[in-house]
Structure 1
């Protein structure tokens, strides 16, 4: 079977959302209501914010509005890697916040454990597996980067395991693997949609009022409160937390700080016992390769292989549209690379092919801000690693809205915003040159050209 034939039966639907246990949506908001805290957005950041607000103060009246259905966008369709890192990896964090990276790594590990504790406490059935993840080398020049990564991770409290060619292939058998770096404790695998739905249920159980199919259309000061208009109603809130991810912020001045980038993934049919034995994978770790255009890969609970990443597509003007969720040329590339990595799975077919927008910032991880005299808080820019960091983001927003001075709010990560993206057409040209340069570096043993070195010099570079 060639790689294109393997796509023949793939439905254009995110695998995780194609679930008979998907909850029925809550009714849309109609009429007027008041609340202590309004959360705009029903993805991970919004759900964690609502849940944490009720856990901090059970008497607080919390309302959450979602334009679609909770977990129905990036939170429910991602790869299901829940990472401890708050900075999109140790290297990115070390480059930008060297003086506080030890604290950021510690807080990240604490945050990951808190997510696991929440899953246990609320009985969330989301296939949580603390198996870790392996960064694999597929080219000889990448092996030195793994060794350097192991040394740096150990310096900041990590417990990485460096694997040679035989050792990594004993874990996951691909003829393309030359070595690996296994983070055993800092990454969990999770069914991302079921995590979102579990958080939604936990919010409802604690008394959060959730209204789905209720987009927030505008935000303005209303005396000492904030008024938010929706299609069929309006909300007056003492405080507002904005958790809109890749979608345009209600605060116009925040919009230049993020752009939407489209990411794509495939899911195979369940592997047979013989197919699974041919790749080993008894440890059920996730893995990603070491290139700039990297793949992220994992097993589902029923032993399907999720194969995602590689292409990251920016659309001119930064428009988020449903028609961009399908990109056949990317699916063809992903299928070809899958069969190159696992030639022993030549007969495997893909059942699902999907994509969608994630938000990114110029520092490639979350940033924060407040407005309206501290009555509105905002978190965005996770760049694809929001499954874990979104809980931290929620706690920061609640600290900021309360005016509390905490270990979190004292971080430079929290106090300083990234550089905004330039306006079009400069934005599209810059993103295009950067993407071309990173692909070229992958073909040139990782050597970064003048453009990438210049971005590095100004703190805008990224080498993941």
Structure 2
């Protein structure tokens, strides 16, 4: 919904933001669990997991499932789920490759295997939700890619036909304008591609909190407000220093994602991109009926600068995306989590999409950092003679893929050759980002070019075509 479709409207919608709290809706919950105590003194364990988001939580949980007698410790610098895992849109996708298009472009020989592994991974997440009674509002509703311009509808049709030729269209339905508006009614919708099984909706913070509880039930020792300050070899294992103590571990798994990796050479592979979202007040039955959103699917539009939107359990609409802000120097700072100029832009886009909802107000507005890498899907590796493993670079699609990444990290620590570790996607790294000012300049030029492409019927300029050839595309 970029370009002309989202440029209309007036300033009346700014009133909708007057009561919006600048905090993530998901974390603004009276049932939020109390944090565990910080680590004090010295600890020892078989496996230390650093990071209390999805990446670390799945790693700790699966480690105990694989070997119940393994002694596992997890440390989190602040509180479980406070960063990306508690701020995202709650789209839990089967894709391991940041979408099928990205995967087919980068790993055409592996894409069928990657799709199979991704579908299995989502099934295993659903099974874990049931097994551990995770109260995370898991709904396997699917997702619709929406065309809001004529050229986007043509592109979706061409893409669907290509997937049919590749044998990858199972579970996908191509929708015309009438069919998409029968699913969700917006005057901007001109077509859609409905993935009926490949995406679930979750309450992201409750998923993190539930995984924390499940880890504790299996015997994982969880310490919050315990940042890992450094990582060094110690005898046959590793040692990590924390503010009030230290931990010696035989193996270490790093799930710190956007935050500085304790293996310094990994840091050049990721940059932070800030994403922002709004949440409405709960819709009335009449308001919900006005837009005909009957099946609770997730939606995302097809522009380069895209929006994602979904319903919460209490029928609020989460509306996010479009702006992707890279701060010069790649700093991760709390002040970047709040950006009123983006909230105003998103609000205007919302009411262009759903003019039937005039008068609806937003209750929450927030942002957070995404760990982006140059290929838009996670990369993996080891350090210190295989005693340390890491995964990072999920680029905003890690709610589901982090569980797969946890499996990979544990496979690598075990020194095992598995169907996961044999993947080219796992064996090879993306290109690192250049130092400043080149990183900022390149990202700014790419973002400008993508916005121009949205305004020019999808036509990509020389810069974007060159980036595509180098495998360095970029989207919001």
What TM-score, normalized by structure 1, do the two folds share? 0.99
C-alpha deviation, 1:147, in angstroms: 1.3
Tell me the alpha carbon deviations over residues 68-92 of structure 1, each in whole angstroms, 9 at most, x when there is no partner.
1111110011000000000000110
C-alpha deviation, 1:374, in angstroms: 0.3
Tell me the alpha carbon deviations over residues 375-434 of structure 1, each in whole angstroms, 9 at most, x when there is no partner.
000100000000000000000000000001000000000000000000011110001001
**Does the CA-based 8 Å contact 1:106-1:157 persist in structure 2?**
no
Does the alignment pair 1:67 with 2:86? no
Question: Where do 1:95-244 residues align within 5 Å?
Answer: 95-154=105-164, 155-156=167-168, 158-244=170-256
Q: Secondary structure at the match of 2:323?
A: strand
Does the alignment pair 1:7 with 2:17? yes
- 1:38 is matched with 48
Tell me the alpha carbon deviations over residues 246-289 of structure 1, each in whole angstroms, 9 at most, x when there is no partner.
11111110100000110000000000111000000111101000
Does the alignment pair 1:283 with 2:260? no
C-alpha deviation, 1:157, in angstroms: 5.5
C-alpha deviation, 1:223, in angstroms: 1.4
2:224 and 2:159 mapped to 1: Cα distance?
43
**Does the CA-based 8 Å contact 1:258-1:359 persist in structure 2?**
yes
Q: Secondary structure at the match of 2:431?
A: coil
**Does the CA-based 8 Å contact 2:446-2:474 persist in structure 1?**
no
2:404 and 2:66 mapped to 1: Cα distance?
14
Change (3 A) 1:78 1:269: same
Does the alignment pair 1:86 with 2:96? yes
- 2:58 is matched with 48
RMSD of aligned residue pairs (Cα, Å): 0.9
Q: Secondary structure at the match of 1:424?
A: coil
- 1:385 is matched with 397
C-alpha deviation, 1:30, in angstroms: 0.2
* Residue 26 of structure 2, aligned match among 16, 19, 24: 16
2:473 and 2:22 mapped to 1: Cα distance?
33
Does the alignment pair 1:396 with 2:420? no
What TM-score, normalized by structure 2, do the two folds share? 0.96
Q: Secondary structure at the match of 1:311?
A: coil
Tell me the alpha carbon deviations over residues 265-314 of structure 1, each in whole angstroms, 9 at most, x when there is no partner.
00000001110000001111010000000000000000000000000000
**Does the CA-based 8 Å contact 1:153-1:159 persist in structure 2?**
no
Change (3 A) 1:108 1:358: same
C-alpha deviation, 1:463, in angstroms: 5.9
Q: Secondary structure at the match of 1:141?
A: helix
Does the alignment pair 1:326 with 2:342? no
**Does the CA-based 8 Å contact 2:160-2:169 persist in structure 1?**
no
**How many residues are aligned here?**
464
Q: Secondary structure at the match of 1:214?
A: coil
1:373 and 1:251 mapped to 2: Cα distance?
12
Unmatched segments (≥5 aa) in structure 2: 1-10
